Amino acid sequence: MFVLGLQGSPRSKGNTSTLLSAFLDEVEKSGGRVKNLDVTRMKILPCLGCGTCEKKGYCPRDDDMQAMYPVLREADLVVLATPIYFYGPTAQMKLFIDRSQALWSRKYVLGMEDPGRKWRQGFLLAVGATKGKNIFDGTKLTAKYFFDAVGADFSGTLGYRKVEHVGDIDSHPTALGDARARAKELTAPFLNRKKLLFVCTENACRSQMAAAFARQMAGDRFEVESAGSAPAEKSNPMMETVMVEKGLDMAYLKPEAISDLPDGWQPDFVVSMGCEVDCPTFPGAVMEDWDLSDPAEESVAFMRDIRDQVENRVENFISEHMPS
Ligand SMILES: Cc1cc2nc3c(=O)[nH]c(=O)nc-3n(C[C@H](O)[C@H](O)[C@H](O)COP(=O)(O)O)c2cc1C
């Protein structure tokens, strides 16, 4: 389980940061993996509204945001944490939000679905100095559409009024405890999933496709990873094309080595695609091999055939091991 926290206050030890840290600390204690990203320290340029993402599916602005698209795609839960500035999120957070337009375009203009979309959750943490009834309304709306763009369901808000000076949140009677409780609650369903690893040689075609289908079909029951014994430089473009025919967006995936799997991540199931070389062993895991031909150097028709075989096998695997 991976939780991405987006810290949006320029005060690095301010109320937002304390609240988010409490939330993420509880996730870690429960056994989840976290990344606490200080958005205000990143170099993120504003969206120019140039329309490149609508035509080509990517943002041409060359800055720290480029590395964030894959991280957003990897997250099971995205936590947006911001102080209220003029009834909205901070300008730094808004830059980040606006640049998620590239993901919005991939979905709504180009018609591709992120394989993690069905199960990813989004949560909002916010603080404001005043006691106004509506102080969180603008930010909640912005968060709702941000979460939709990054492929997450908006699963709630914790917002605290009359929190102004650094340290105010520490003396709030319930805030930090609430954040910990919500973290536990939101994390629990993800932690009960079985760990499923797909491996092949290059992690550029077969195991990537299998992982995407498994995430889409059963990301609530399986925590899915894929890796290769000798990973390629990049995913196979023809594989990406044939997956788009299935409506699945394979962008921002990079072939990974088996040694790059998260620390201490022990799979319950390992499925190899056709163990030509260096097939790894994982003590304690249920292993199976699907003996699928490598489509890397073959025709598009061959790639489609492998894709369809992978899809069927993933479907059968899920109904055999973890039906809904
Ligand atoms: C530029 C600016 C605008 C603000 N606008 C609002 C506002 O509209 N409503 C509100 O309740 N508080 C507003 N505040 C107060 C902050 O939300 C509040 O101090 C918060 O606790 C800061 O969180 P932090 O410690 O994480 O930076 C504003 C503060 C600043 C600096």
Give the pLDDT band (50/70/90) at residue 277.
low
Q: Is the pLDDT assigned to residue 9 strictly greater than 90?
A: yes
pLDDT digits (tens, 9 = 90+) for 50-109: 999 999 999 999 999 999 999 999 999 999 999 999 999 999 999 999 999 999 999 999
Q: What is the pLDDT of residue 276?
A: 63
Protein residue closest via CA to atom 21 of ligand 1: 164
Protein residue closest via CA to atom 6 of ligand 1: 85
Looking at ligand 1, which atom is closest to the CA of residue 86? 8
Give the pLDDT band (50/70/90) at residue 323.
confident
Structure tokens that stand for 272 in this block: 């190899």
Our mutation pick for probing the ligand 1 site, out of 16, 39, 86, 165, counting the most ligand atoms within 8 A of Cβ, is: 86
* d(CA 118, ligand 1 centre) in Å: 34
pLDDT digits (tens, 9 = 90+) for 156-188: 999 999 999 999 999 999 999 999 999 999 999
* C-alpha separations of 294 from 46, 187, 302, 306 in Å: 42, 37, 9, 8
pTM, two decimals, is: 0.96
Q: What is the pLDDT of residue 278?
A: 66
Choose among 70, 64, 58: nearest CA to 38. 64
Region 255-279 average pLDDT: 87
pLDDT digits (tens, 9 = 90+) for 108-141: 999 999 999 999 999 999 999 999 999 999 999 9
Helix, strand, or coil (residue 302): helix
| Residues with C-beta less than 6 Å from any ligand 1 atom | 9, 11, 14-16, 83-87, 127-130, 135, 163-164, 166
Contact 256, 231 (CB under 8 A): yes
pLDDT digits (tens, 9 = 90+) for 290-299: 999 999 999 9
Q: Cα–Cα distance between 79 and 72 in angstroms, integer?
A: 11
Looking at ligand 1, which atom is closest to the CA of residue 10? 27
* d(CA 85, ligand 1 centre) in Å: 5
What b/e string do you get for 128-156 counting C-beta neighbours within 10 Å, with b at 16 or more? Answer: beeeeeebbeebeebbeebbbbbbbebee
